[in-house]
């Protein structure tokens, strides 16, 4: 690559040919406001140049140029803050606001909206333009995602995230001009499409057009109901990101403070989904060994991720027997809480409310699935939990570190890895290794399967056996792996798939990344650190799990385990 | 011929056309043109068929169909009347001609007569401004059109 010399705001700098003006400016610490532009996962850059917020003035050119998709050229002289550029930028935002409901105070995205932030930065104090306003029908059809297209600014980030990253392609621009709307085909409600509810569209939406279904009121109602015994479980990835909502960017898990906050909010018991993740490993590793020893269907795919389950139920009907039949940890937790814990503690399951805090929006849908809708009652995301903590007036940073309640709060280092891509695989291998060989595993860290690359594979030597493993994160990558299996080009024994790029740490319910994928590395690091610090790091050594089998489940894949902890999959015709 | 059989033949014709297209990924608009020619409009099942055959997301296909005003998702009449509303024709009085068509057919622009015979539309310029005002019926172009010609023209297609 050759270098070109450009001048930006009187600063001379050399950048690689093919760099956008936006990136070149950033390298000189000059930040140009953007709106539609976003760096998406895997190096995909979304730069349609459609919003014109990032326009700059280039000497010798008649028109202003969008800096996100105008490449630098030798000798270019650029002014990012000329009066013409600033005025145009402001006019663009004012025009966007002229067709935007001005209800920021009442908006789910209040304080997290990029349009709001731009208007604030630009000091816009009046609505200069008045004209017709869009009035599109709202879509509240699903348990996970709400669409309010009056707030859509047509940046198409969601279209790229859904189409290019996830290859689900539910959303597209429909109609034209003022009537353009980002919508599924034929204006169908989300629930009638092949949407997996992964929520990556919500993660990238700059405004309140795509938001999570907010269940916080339901949780407050349950907590304030005097006859209800309300318990909460928290998924592994939540502790890795919750701190960010309170300005903590240290990359440390905030497990102890999270537990303290939940207790302060009034939950009767604060439990850990990690307990159920250990349980999942017991069932899943047993299923894997059974399939390997008895000529069962291989590869076996993990089934913890509800968006991934939706994905193959929609698009891979010939492979419904490939995923493990294990329910996800969230659902296993609910089943054990209501069928075992309740009995043990002499509680009426009818009076129990099981709340989940998840990094995920598809978990909301999963909990409502007909075949297991009694397991979990209310699901909230990491973002919703943060809002509730703030609403309750809890000073997060001054909370002490507290421990999860016994015994549905006891977990191992293996289970905490469920929150990051490759983690379920690593946890499963730790247990499968010891069960197959009958020997203790010295080094529990399978570093060859760690990392954030979209597809990773490794051959793991388990005594005289070679286990071929593959990992995909992001549904586009999952499709590549699934097509390999479908075409008979892959001989893996076990595959882990997580729908969101990076795994649950980047779930649709997590604090917004805003295109900064370095944050994901910190979140992954937080989970690896928590694993390292746990005294027990293998799921099958969790004493609470051992006791659960002794007292109730007998052994993995027993009849009762099957009844409570396993599920089945259905082909869903997509429209 | 039964409706069902006719439908089957239409899909067969479309399938043959798609199979004959050398480059599938870039031929969406060509295929949609052909589909509309065969079916008269682009209902959901036709759009889905095109999406599957071209291996493109249905949302993308529907996006293209709804973007271009030429494509229609509602059934059109046997004959499609277009009144040109381009600048030249408009100046020469095409609005009056459109009014007359609406009055005679008792429908609004964009609608189809209940007997399924005529659909009334407007378009912007057919590139025959020297003949303004211009009306087209199906593939035929009528130049120097007047309000008085509306009745006679409709009779031609009755």
Q: What is the DSSP letter of A553?
A: I
In a shared domain, residues B93 and B52: no
A466 DSSP β-pair partners: A461
pLDDT in tens, A181-215: 999 999 999 999 999 999 999 999 999 999 999 99
Residue B145 domain-assigned (yes or no)? yes
CA distance A552 to A555: 9
Q: What are the C-alpha distances in Å from A269 to residues A260, A265, A360, A537?
A: 11, 11, 22, 24
Q: What is the mean pLDDT of residues A265-279?
A: 98
Say if residue A264's pLDDT is above 70.
Answer: yes
Residues B48, B10 within the same domain: yes
pLDDT band at A575; cut points 50, 70, 90: low
Based on the residue annotation, tell me whether A324 is a catalytic residue of this protein: yes
Classify residue B29: in a domain, yes or no. yes
Check pLDDT > 60 for residue B68.
Answer: yes
The distance between the two most distant Cα atoms of chain B, rounded to a whole number of Å, is 50
Residue B152 lies in a domain: yes
For residue B126, which of B80, B69, B97, B84 has the smallest C-alpha distance?
B84
* Percent of the residues in chain A that have a pLDDT greater than 90, as a whole number: 93
CB A223 within 8 Å of CB A214:
no
Contacts A–B by Cβ distance under 8 A: 41
> What does the DSSP 8-state code read for residue A214?
P
Mean pLDDT of A264-284: 97
Same domain, B90 and B147: yes
Instruction: For the domain made up of A3-96, give the CATH fold.
Output: Ubiquitin-like (UB roll) (3.10.20)
> End-to-end CA distance of chain B, in Å?
22
Residues B50, B105 share a domain: no
Q: Cβ–Cβ of B63/A174 closer than 8 Å? A: yes
Nearest to A511 by CA among A199, A156, A261: A199
pLDDT at A463: 84
B74 part of a folded domain: no
A286-297 per-position pLDDT tens digit: 999 999 999 999
Position B13 in a domain: yes
Mark whether A366 is an active-site residue.
yes
Packing angle between helix A382-391 and helix A255-265, nearest 10 degrees? 60
φ/ψ region of A474 (left if φ > 0, alpha if ψ in -120 to 50, else beta) reads left
Of B59, B61, B67, the CB nearest to A170: B59
**Amino acid A544: pLDDT:** 97
* Cβ atoms A397, A263 nearer than 8 A: no
Interface residues from chain B to A (CB-CB < 8 Å)? 44, 47-48, 57-63, 66-67, 69
Check the annotation: does B51 bind a ligand. no
Distance of residue B31 Cα from the nearest chain A Cα, in angstroms = 18
Both B19 and B60 in one domain: the answer is yes
| Gap between the Cα atoms of A160 and A293, Å rounded | 43
Closest-CA distance, A335 to chain B, in angstroms, reads 38
Interface mutation target, options A185, A192, A314, chain B, most CBs of B under 10 Å = A185
CB A251 within 8 A of CB A401: no
Among residues A255, A245, A271, A523, the alpha carbon closest in space to that of A391 is found at A245
- Same domain for B138 and B108? yes
Are A575 and B58 a contacting pair at CB < 8 A?
yes
* pLDDT of the residue at A528: 97
Candidate from B48, B59, B69 with C-beta closest to A169: B59
* One domain, residues B118 and B59: no
Measure A575 CA to nearest chain B CA, in Å.
8
What is the topology classification, in CATH, of domain A99-212?
A: Alpha-Beta Plaits (3.30.70)
- Residues in A whose CB is inside 8 Å of some CB of B read 163, 169-176, 183-186, 575
The domain spanning residue B85 has which CATH number?
3.40.30.10
Domain A217-565 fold is Rossmann fold (3.40.50)
The Cα–Cα gap between B77 and A136 comes to 29
- From chain A, pick out residues whose CB is under 8 angstroms from the CB of B58: 169, 185, 575
Strands of B12-146, DSSP E: 79-84, 118-123, 135-137, 140-142
With an 8 Å Cβ cutoff, are B66 and A575 in contact?
no
- B138 annotated to bind ligand: no
pLDDT tens-digit readout, B34-66: 999 999 899 999 999 999 999 999 999 999 999
Catalytic, A158? Answer no
Reported confidence tier of residue B158, pLDDT bands at 50, 70, 90 = confident
- B57–A173 CB contact, under 8 Å: no
Kindly indicate whether the ipTM for this predicted assembly is greater than 0.95, answering yes or no. no
Q: Are A8 and A25 in contact (CB under 8 A)?
A: yes
- Domain coordinates in residue numbering, chain A: 3-96, 99-212, 217-565
- Looking at the fold, whether B123 and B61 belong to one and the same domain comes out as no
Average per-residue pLDDT for chain B: 93
Token pair recorded at residue A259: 């537990």
Supply the pLDDT for residue A111: 94
Q: Which of B67, B96, B116 is the last residue of a domain?
A: B67
Range of the domain at B90: 79-156
What is the DSSP-derived secondary structure letter of residue A501? T
Closest CA to A413 of A427, A433, A401: A427
The total domain count for chain B is 2
Q: Is B73 annotated as a binding residue?
A: no
What are A171's two structure tokens? 């959303």
- Give mean pLDDT, residues A138-163: 96
The residue among B67, B89, B110 that closes a domain is B67
Percent of chain B's residues with pLDDT above 70? 99
Q: Which of A163, A176, A186 sits opposite B62 (nearest CB)?
A: A186
Predicted confidence (pLDDT) at residue A165 exceeds the cutoff of 80: yes
B49 with B14, same domain?
Answer: yes
Rg of chain B in Å (alpha carbons): 18
Helices within B21-43 (DSSP H only): 28-39
E-state strands within chain B: 79-84, 118-123, 135-137, 140-142
Residue B156 annotated in ligand binding: no
Catalytic pick from A57, A108, A244, A287? A287
Distance CA A356, CA A230 (A): 11
Sign of CA dihedral A84, A89, A92, A97: negative
pLDDT surpasses 80 at A119: yes
pLDDT reported for residue A490 = 86
Task: Report d(CA A357, CA A262) in Å as an integer.
Answer: 10
Instruction: Determine the 3-state secondary structure of A229 from DSSP.
Output: strand
| pLDDT at residue A22 greater than cutoff 60 | yes
Q: Are A367 and A356 in contact (CB under 8 A)?
A: yes
| Cα(B137)–Cα(B127) distance, integer angstroms | 15
Give the Å distances, CA to CA, from A41 to A162, A508, A518.
Answer: 12, 13, 11
Q: How far apart are CA A166 and CA A161, in angstroms?
A: 6
Please write the tens of the pLDDT for every residue from A327-338: 999 999 999 999
Mean pLDDT of chain A: 95
Q: Do B67 and A175 touch (CB under 8 A)?
A: yes
Whether residues B59 and A575 touch (CB distance < 8 A) is answered with no
Asked if residue B73 is part of any domain, the answer here is: no
Average pLDDT over residues A440-458: 93
Asked if pLDDT for residue B111 goes beyond 70, the answer is yes
CB A513 within 8 A of CB A506: yes
Chain A residues in contact with B62 by the CB 8 A cut-off are 172, 174, 185-186
Q: Does position A23 have pLDDT exceeding 60, yes or no?
A: yes
pLDDT of residue B1: 60
Q: Which of A191, A162, A166 is nearest to A368 (CA)?
A: A191
Question: B138 vs chain A: nearest CA distance in angstroms?
Answer: 25
Q: Are A177 and B68 in contact (CB under 8 A)?
A: no
Residue of B66, B34, B70, B69 lying closest to B50 (CA atoms): B34
DSSP state of A323: B
Active site (annotated) includes residue A371:
yes
Q: Would B72 be classed as within a structural domain?
A: no
Report whether the peptide linkage leading into residue B23 is cis, meaning its omega lies within 30 degrees of zero. no
């Amino acid at each position: 690559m050759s270098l070109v010399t450009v001048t930006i705001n009187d600063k001379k700098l050399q950048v690689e040919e093919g760099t956008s003006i936006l990136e070149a400016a950033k390298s000189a610490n000059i930040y140009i406001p953007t709106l539609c532009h976003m760096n998406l996962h895997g190096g995909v850059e979304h730069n349609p140049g459609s919003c014109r917020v990032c326009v700059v003035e280039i000497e010798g050119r008649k028109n202003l140029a969008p800096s996100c998709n105008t490449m630098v050229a030798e000798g270019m002289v650029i002014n990012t803050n000329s009066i013409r550029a600033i005025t145009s930028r402001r006019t663009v935002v004012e025009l966007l606001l002229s067709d935007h409901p001005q209800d920021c105070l009442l908006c789910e995205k209040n304080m997290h909206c990029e349009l709001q932030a731009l208007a604030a930065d630009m000091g816009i104090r009046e609505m200069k333009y008045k004209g017709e306003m869009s009035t599109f029908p709202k879509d509240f059809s699903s348990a996970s995602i709400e669409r309010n297209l009056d707030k859509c600014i047509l940046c198409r980030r969601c279209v790229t995230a859904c189409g290019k990253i996830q290859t689900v392609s539910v959303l597209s621009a429909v109609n034209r001009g003022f009537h353009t709307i980002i919508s599924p085909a034929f204006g169908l409600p989300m629930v009638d499409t092949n949407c997996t509810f992964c929520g990556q569209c919500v993660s990238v939406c700059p405004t309140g057009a795509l938001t999570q279904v907010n269940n916080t009121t339901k949780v407050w109602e349950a907590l304030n109901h005097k006859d209800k015994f309300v318990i909460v479980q928290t998924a592994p990835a939540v502790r890795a990101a919750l701190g960010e909502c309170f300005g903590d960017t240290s990359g440390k898990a905030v497990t102890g403070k999270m537990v303290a906050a939940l207790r302060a909010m009034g939950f009767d018991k604060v439990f850990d989904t990690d307990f159920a993740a250990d349980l999942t490993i017991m069932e899943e590793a047993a299923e894997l060994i059974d399939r390997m020893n008895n000529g069962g269907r291989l590869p076996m795919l993990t089934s913890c991720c509800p968006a991934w389950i939706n994905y193959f139920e929609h698009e891979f009907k010939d492979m419904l027997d490939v995923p493990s039949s294990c329910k996800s940890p969230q659902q296993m937790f609910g089943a054990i809480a209501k069928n075992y814990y309740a009995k043990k503690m002499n509680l009426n399951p009818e009076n129990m409310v099981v709340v989940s805090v998840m990094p995920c929006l598809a978990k909301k849908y999963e909990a409502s699935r007909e075949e297991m809708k009694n397991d979990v009652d209310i699901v909230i995301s990491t973002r919703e939990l943060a809002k509730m903590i703030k609403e309750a007036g809890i000073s997060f940073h001054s909370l002490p570190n507290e421990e999860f309640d016994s015994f549905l709060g006891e977990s191992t280092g293996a289970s905490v890895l469920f929150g990051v891509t490759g983690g379920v695989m690593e946890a499963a291998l730790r247990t499968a290794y010891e069960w197959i060989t009958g020997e203790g595993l010295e080094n529990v860290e399978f570093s060859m399967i760690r990392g954030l690359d979209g597809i990773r594979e490794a051959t793991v030597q388990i005594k005289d056996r070679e286990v071929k493993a593959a990992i995909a994160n992001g549904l586009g990558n999952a499709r590549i792996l699934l097509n390999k299996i479908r075409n008979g080009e892959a001989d893996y024994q076990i595959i882990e798939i997580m729908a969101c790029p990076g795994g649950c740490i980047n779930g649709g319910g997590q604090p917004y990344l805003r295109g900064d994928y370095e944050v994901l590395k910190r979140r992954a690091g937080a989970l690896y650190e928590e694993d390292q610090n746990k005294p027990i790091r293998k799921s099958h050594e969790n004493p609470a799990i051992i006791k659960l089998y002794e007292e109730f489940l007998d052994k993995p894949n027993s009849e009762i385990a099957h009844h409570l902890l396993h599920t089945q999959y259905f082909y869903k015709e997509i429209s | 011929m039964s409706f069902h059989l006719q439908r089957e033949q239409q899909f067969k014709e479309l399938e043959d056309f798609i199979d004959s297209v050398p480059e599938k990924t870039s031929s969406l608009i060509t295929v949609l043109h052909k589909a509309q020619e065969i079916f008269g409009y682009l209902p959901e099942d036709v759009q889905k068929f095109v999406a599957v055959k071209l291996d493109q997301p249905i949302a993308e296909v529907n996006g293209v169909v709804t973007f271009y005003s030429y494509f229609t998702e509602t059934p059109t009449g046997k004959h499609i009347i277009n009144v040109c509303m381009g600048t030249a024709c408009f100046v020469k009085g095409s609005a009056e001609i459109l009014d007359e068509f609406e009055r005679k057919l008792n429908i609004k622009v964009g609608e189809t007569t209940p007997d399924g015979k005529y659909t009334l539309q407007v378009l912007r310029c057919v590139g025959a401004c020297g003949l303004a005002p211009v009306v087209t019926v199906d593939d035929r172009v009528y130049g120097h059109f007047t309000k008085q010609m509306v009745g006679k023209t409709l009779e031609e297609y009755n």
